[in-house]
């Protein structure tokens, strides 16, 4: 499952982000998944559940924000309609500007008072 390796990559990133605290303090992991990121959201959720305990994120809940795909011309910034060709009338190239990534957005930690 491709999603399982994505989840492990996510935890690798999270491991570094939560230092000096450990993963056991993480209460929530928030990710944004683009419509064109090539990620199956249900499989991602399942993979998260599989990897969570193994990686030490026992109390972590997963929140997924789904990001729609958006394209824009790299020259004039025009936004073609969905299914539009990859070239803009101005001659510029139309590229994906949003919705192509899987992003770790936020990690919530529970840190005891000192
Ligand atoms: Zn253009």
Phi-psi region of 82 (alpha: psi -120 to 50; beta: other; left: phi over 0): beta
What are 61-108's pLDDT values in tens digits?
Answer: 999 999 999 889 989 999 876 566 678 889 898 889 999 999 999 999
Residue 114 lies in a domain: no
Helix (H, G, I), strand (E, B) or coil at 86: coil
Q: What is the pTM of this model?
A: 0.85
> Would you say residue 53 lies in a domain?
yes
Which residues are within 8 A (CB) of 32 and not within 5 positions of it... i.e. 6 or more apart?
Answer: 64, 65, 66, 67, 101, 102, 103, 105
User: Domain range for residue 29?
Assistant: 2-109
Is 27 inside a domain boundary?
yes
CA of 88 to the centre of ligand 1 (A): 5
CATH number for 84:
3.30.2320.80
Total tally of structural domains belonging to the chain: 1
How many angstroms does the Cα of residue 94 sit away from the middle of ligand 1? 7
């Amino acid at each position: 499952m491709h999603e399982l390796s994505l989840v492990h990559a996510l935890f690798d990133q999270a491991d570094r982000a939560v230092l000096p605290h450990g993963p056991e303090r993480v209460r929530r992991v928030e990710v944004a998944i683009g419509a064109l990121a090539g990620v199956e959201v249900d499989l991602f959720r399942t993979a998260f559940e599989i990897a969570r305990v193994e990686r030490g994120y026992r109390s972590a809940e997963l929140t997924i924000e789904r990001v729609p795909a958006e394209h824009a011309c790299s020259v004039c910034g025009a936004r073609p309609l969905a299914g539009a060709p990859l070239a803009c009338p101005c001659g510029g190239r139309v590229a994906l500007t949003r919705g192509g990534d899987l992003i770790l957005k936020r990690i919530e930690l529970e840190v005891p008072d000192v």
